[in-house]
Amino acid sequence: MTLLPGQTASAALHPVTAAARARELPPRLAFLDRDHSLIAFNERVLDLARRAEVPLLERLRFLCIVSSNLDEFFEVRARAGDAGADEGLERLAAAVHRLVRNQYAVYNDELMPALRRRGIAIVSHSERTPAQRRWVQDYFAREVRPLLVPVGLDPAHPFPQVANKSLNFIVRLDGRDAFGRENEVAIVKVPRVLARVIRMPPRVSGGKALFVLLSSVIRASLGTLFPGRRIVEFSQFRVTRHSDLAVDEDEVRDLRSALRIGLRHRHYGEAVRLEVSAGCSEPLAAFLLEQFGLSPAALYRVHGPVNLVRLQGLLAMVDAPRLVFPPYRPPPAAAGGPWFERLRRGDVLLHLPFERFDAVTGFLREAVDDPQVLAIRLTIYRAGSDPVMLDLLREAVSRGKEVTAVVELKARFDEEANIDWTEKLESVGAQVVYGVVGLKTHAKMLLVTRREGRALRRYAHLSTGNYNPATAKQYTDIGYFTADAQLTRDVEHLFVHLASQSRLPRLARAWVAPFQLQRRLIDKVDEVADAARSGRPARIVLKMNALTDEPLMLALVRASQAGAKIDLVVRGACMLPAQVPGVTGNVRVRSVVGRFLEHTRIFYFRRGDEEDVFLSSADWMNRNMLRRVELAWPVADPLLRRRIVDECLVPYLQDRLDAWDMRPDGTYVRVDAHAKHKGPGAQAALMALHGDVAPKKRLRPA
């Protein structure tokens, strides 16, 4: 294969169609900025930390989620550079600074006072009683001091390597060191093994849930680290580094070993953000910026802990059922008999987290136990650390079944866990492959091959989410069980393609990226546009995590201009502006942010009397369409199609509690934010529908 100058292998194999590339933006349409859209999403998450109707500890959890999301934003998308040289970067930096200021205002002015009123408090040094101060000193001497090694800076002791997102102190000292030198600056690195939030024992807490932060514990005894010197000033600081692993797969012989090496250096990548205490002096802040090669725009002064993510430790130490969401426990699955018998009768739908993920592990368990099952194949993207799925696959190998696992080693921030999976599976004899060079395998598939008489029959589970029992309790996703001969044959072809990298044959029902998924979706949108032009009913409803792919957005613009009614339920980044007269006047964009993370990908198309519903692993992003292996499949059963519409689309279009609607300028306004009687949100209605945890509200059909 001959590559054009600057063209990657994946782009040459799977180019965007010439027609899509040639299309230009219509007049009056400018796509929105993706990074600003991501920051706007985090503003919506922060709103949950403000809402009085959200339980107090859950509000703190959402505050921590914003910090975690911002960490990933900087680790993956930000670059240091000269931020002041680009007006767009200046606006983005201003938006992030504003979000951080609002976040710490919620922390200091709303959440901490409200927690204190309920007997839960983080006690600062100035507030501590003499007994509490003695306890903190003892804790420092016993648990913390032995692990701290302050480094005084001089030509023989240069600025130390500071790990990504670690807690550190910078100290300016008066006087001379033991050798009579006036080295002013010292750095204290705080080991990650130390707990960041410590609960005071009952003997000094007075029966309340009182906590101290590790940074405050160190601050109170900081002077003891420098005997004979006086601390003039100090500040805690935290640096965020670019952490997206870049491995040239064409140049490495062993991807797993290359990633292991990369993981060792991830904590010391290019610095992109510096957080310091609000009171950090200008000279100390300037010194740190110089050390990390950052511009002033990368400096964030925070009124509180430099790492709010670590406050999640407090949540685990407080037993206050009234301050968290009522537990939601999906009801046990209705008895339907053995899985293989059920699927011979028809497809089965699983709606997570409103139904139990146990159905997936039960399906796999049945396959492992069944002597007629010959082979099990599975894709692993973010399986997490839960051993259930791994143990079942290892047991299948021990029972003589052929087990093939396609493990995506480059799943961001899950690389190490996935490498561990590969090694544990290979150690028992499973076949492990890593997919296709240059592409991430993001499709979620489990295929079981069973001998039935003289024939082999396939059964599959396809999903919009991951094979991760932990996130299955927190993310909304759809699992789809099927024995459809054509669809399961397509899945088998895709597994063979991923393992052998042989040419993928023509598929009967599934659409696969990066081959034809983008083109087929554009064709489907254009069919709806044609129906609208001919005066027939024309409707598109899409639910996904992100919408940023330009050819797909242009197709939606054409359909809107043709008169099709389009609803987009996009949780995060959406670059297509809604309700722009003459361009996207028929497009509504909505984001739903609630207790669970919205994660389903559902594509509904209606043209005249015909309707199609597709489920998919893919968001409508360029990377999903052209740089990942993704899967989309149609829902053939009309009853299951209706259920998907009624449960996964209609409630979100009707939501008046957790929904935000986009304005033409790309900003979002919360739906009925000030209304007294909003009714249950989509997620609450679905919990009531499945689990009877709240008053039921009938979900109106589409």
Same domain, 273 and 381: no
pLDDT at 646: 96
Same domain, 502 and 525: no
| 100 in any annotated domain | yes
Q: Which of residues 264 and 259 earns the better pLDDT score? A: 264
Establish whether 303 is an annotated binding residue: no
pLDDT at 697: 41
pLDDT at 251: 46
Split at pLDDT 50, 70, 90, the class of 81 is very low
238-264: average pLDDT: 59
67-75: average pLDDT: 93
Establish whether 599 is an annotated binding residue: yes
Q: Which of 486, 508, 530 is the last residue of a domain?
A: 508
Q: Is the pLDDT of residue 412 over 80?
A: no
Q: Which of 289, 323, 357 is the last residue of a domain?
A: 323
Mean pLDDT score of the chain: 87
**Cβ atoms 76, 412 nearer than 8 A:** yes
| 663 in any annotated domain | yes
320-343: average pLDDT: 89
| 698 in any annotated domain | no
Lowest mean per-residue pLDDT among 176-185, 502-511, 584-593, 692-701 = 692-701
| 263 in any annotated domain | yes
Establish whether 118 is an annotated binding residue: no
Contacts 24+ apart (CB under 8 A), 329-338: 329/691, 330/354, 330/355, 330/356, 330/690, 330/691, 331/355, 331/356, 331/690, 331/691, 331/692, 332/356, 333/358, 333/359, 333/362, 338/366
Question: What's the pLDDT tens digit per position in 183-242?
Answer: 789 999 999 999 999 999 999 999 899 999 999 999 999 999 999 888 999 999 999 998
Same domain, 554 and 603: yes
Q: Is the pLDDT of residue 365 over 50?
A: yes
The tally of domains found in the chain comes to 3
| 256 in any annotated domain | yes
Split at pLDDT 50, 70, 90, the class of 5 is very low
| 296 in any annotated domain | yes
Distance CA(320)–CA(118), nearest Å, equals 10
Angle of the 358-369 helix axis to the 388-398 helix axis, nearest 10: 10
Spell out the residues 6+ positions from residue 43 whose beta carbon is closer than 8 angstroms to its own: 99, 102, 668
pLDDT at 240: 94
Q: Is the pLDDT of residue 266 over 70?
A: no
Same domain, 478 and 394: yes
pLDDT at 501: 83
Same domain, 303 and 206: yes
Q: Which of 438, 473, 508 is the last residue of a domain?
A: 508
The two structure tokens encoding residue 65: 């989620």
Q: Which of 416, 360, 436 is nearest to 393 (CA)?
A: 360
487-496: average pLDDT: 97
Q: Which of residues 81 and 565 earns the better pLDDT score? A: 565
92-98: average pLDDT: 93
Same domain, 313 and 419: no
Establish whether 412 is an annotated binding residue: yes
Q: Is the pLDDT of residue 441 over 80?
A: yes
Q: Which of 126, 280, 301 is nearest to 216 (CA)?
A: 126
473 burial via Cβ count (<10 Å: 0-12, 13-18, 19+): middle
Question: Any idea what the CATH number is for the domain that residue 282 is in?
Answer: 3.30.1840.10
pLDDT at 387: 82
| 520 in any annotated domain | yes
Containing structural domain, residue 543: 11-23+513-691
Question: What's the pLDDT tens digit per position in 121-142?
Answer: 999 999 999 999 999 999 999 9
DSSP-assigned letters across all residues of 289-340: HHHHT--GGGEEEESS-S-GGGGHHHHHH---GGGSPPP--PPPPPP---HH
Q: Is the pLDDT of residue 315 over 90?
A: yes
567-578: average pLDDT: 97
315-341: average pLDDT: 90
Is the pTM value of this prediction over 0.75?
A: yes
Q: Is the pLDDT of residue 602 over 90?
A: yes
DSSP-assigned letters across all residues of 34-60: HHHHHHHHHHHHHHHHH-TTS-HHHHH
Question: What's the pLDDT tens digit per position in 645-683?
Answer: 999 999 999 999 999 999 999 999 999 766 665 678 999
Same domain, 382 and 293: no
Same domain, 518 and 492: no
DSSP 157: B
442 is catalytic: yes
Same domain, 141 and 232: yes
Q: Rg of the chain's alpha carbons, rounded to an integer?
A: 27
| 30 in any annotated domain | no
Same domain, 468 and 523: no
Split at pLDDT 50, 70, 90, the class of 336 is confident
Q: How many residues does the chain have?
A: 702
Same domain, 423 and 367: yes
Establish whether 203 is an annotated binding residue: no
Establish whether 382 is an annotated binding residue: yes
Question: Any idea what the CATH number is for the domain that residue 382 is in?
Answer: 3.30.870.10
169 DSSP β-pair partners: 188, 236
Q: Which of 643, 546, 632 is nearest to 41 (CA)?
A: 546
Same domain, 311 and 343: no
Split at pLDDT 50, 70, 90, the class of 79 is low
Highest mean pLDDT among 132-146, 461-475, 490-504: 132-146
pLDDT at 364: 96
Distance CA(597)–CA(682), nearest Å, equals 12
Q: Which of 442, 461, 493, 497 is an active site residue?
A: 442
